[in-house]
Amino acid sequence: MKTIQKGFTLIELMIVVAIIGILAAIALPAYQDYTIRARVSELILAASAFRTAVTEKYQTDQLLANIGDGLTIAVAGKISGGSVPSSGVVTVNGVQTASAITNVGTAVTVTLTPVTNAAGSLSWTCTGVPLRYMPASCR
């Protein structure tokens, strides 16, 4: 009795490899953007405690002078440093990881600046990274 073997042809295998290559070419930049956005969100979350402290000080004194006094940013986790001067501008620096998987080639720094409007309330502007990496709360 004779058995016939069946399998994939060379062209079918080449098509599958081409499709996988196209999907990888699309997925890699999207993943890199995602990792930068995640890092920026983490830094803004770390800065939110200082943003709250500055806002409370402003609501108490109604002055922008010395609203950042006494605030220091500790180095921990993904935070490599930062500062809160007496003007209340919160600057947080992110760690550039050494891992080949998560290293996107950029060190991330986020700056939150307090701004008063005509009504006397305090709002915040976010700078330091392109707008597409900022979370919705900073756009």
Q: Does residue 99 form part of some domain?
A: yes
User: For the segment 65-103, what is each residue's pLDDT rounded down to a tens digit?
Assistant: 888 887 888 887 778 888 888 888 898 888 776 554 444
Phi, psi of 25 (to 5 degrees): -65, -30
User: In the numeric block, which tokens belong to residue 52?
Assistant: 């709250």
Provide the residue range defining the domain that includes 58. Answer: 10-138
Pairwise CA distance, residues 79 & 76, whole Å: 5
**Rg of the chain over CA atoms, in angstroms?**
24
Task: Output the average pLDDT for the chain.
Answer: 83
Residue bearing tokens 């009504």: 119
Q: How many CA atoms lie within 13 A of 57 on its CB side?
A: 19
The reply to whether 25 falls in a domain is yes
Task: Report the distance separating Cα 88 and Cα 65, nearest Å.
Answer: 8
pLDDT tens-digit series, residues 38-61 = 888 888 888 888 888 888 888 888
Distance from C-alpha of 50 to C-alpha of 68, rounded to nearest angstrom: 8
Domain with 33 in it: what CATH number?
3.30.700.10
Count of domains observed in the chain = 1
pTM for this prediction: 0.70
Residue 66 lies in a domain: yes
Domain membership of residue 4 (yes or no) is no
**Residue 5 covered by a domain:** no
| Bridge partner residues of 127 (DSSP) | 111
DSSP designation for 116: E
